[in-house]
Amino acid sequence: MLLLEATNLQIAYGSAIAVWDASLSVDTGEIVSVIGPNGAGKSTLINSIAGLLRPKDGRLMFSGTNMTTVPSHEFCSHGIALIPEGRRLFVQMTVEENLEIGSYVRKARKHRLEHLEEIYTLFPVLREKRKQAAGQLSGGQQQMVAIGRALMTRPRLVLFDEPSLGLAPSVVDTMFDIISELRSRGLSVLLVEQNVLKALEIADRAYVLDDGRIAGCGHPKELSQQSHIRKAYLGL
């Protein structure tokens, strides 16, 4: 079932257009990856789907609601949660305080303790470290806090901006396992990632963003067989 549909989005910083005419969709229970080189506009695109940047043109529909007219701070309560690039935790606050921030969304507030329990079951290490400052955790554990904080809002669509950035290779695998686990729990995921191999491996569908434009889309296997993608993104 169609969950998110972005049609002809144009996103600019002042007069500088960073994303031109981008259309993409995410179905319920699907992982969709957006791959592309540095500066292609991946963060710009995902931030606009999170409501942080307002498109200059185009339409964003989420679960039948036209999000183009929804204020930024209400995207979360509609069920869209972003795990931003660099995680953006409150490093001096405890792990638990960081997680609780996610439960300020009205519909999540009542079930805060129950949701915290779910996050600690998903990430047992966070239960152990719940009273520690988030800044003292390893990169992978901090990413778990960022994911946990997003899940506390009870999203239907989770947006990941470069989840593998700055993580050790073994931790990158764990992170992608967690993303698969979210799909098996019925969540939908839109992922932007420079780790093209991983992003294609995990996705049900993928889009290629190049210089602010969608340059291709399809099944990851088909995309990874296209010679320009193999050359430009996979180094093959």
Residue 194: strand, helix, or coil: coil
Encoded one letter per residue, x for contact with ligand ATP by CB under 6 A and - for no contact, window 147-186 reads ----------------------------------------
DSSP state at residue 90: -
Smallest distance, Å, CB 165 to ligand ATP? 8
x/- map, 59-98, ligand ATP, by CB under 6 A: ----------------------------------------
Check residue 18 for interaction with ligand ATP (CB under 6 A).
yes
Q: Applying CB under 6 A, which of residues 4, 40, 145, 187 lies at the interface with ligand ATP? A: 40
Using CB under 6 A, which of 194, 204, 218, 232 touches ligand ATP? Answer: 194
With CA atoms as reference, report the closest residue to 50 among 97, 96, 88: 88
* Residue 149 φ then ψ, to 5°: -60, -40
Q: Which 3-state string (H, E, C) describes 93-138?
A: CEHHHHHHHHHHCHHHHCCHHHHHHHHHHHCHHHHHCCCCEHHHCC
Binding site for ligand ATP (CB under 6 A): 13, 16, 18, 36, 38-44, 194
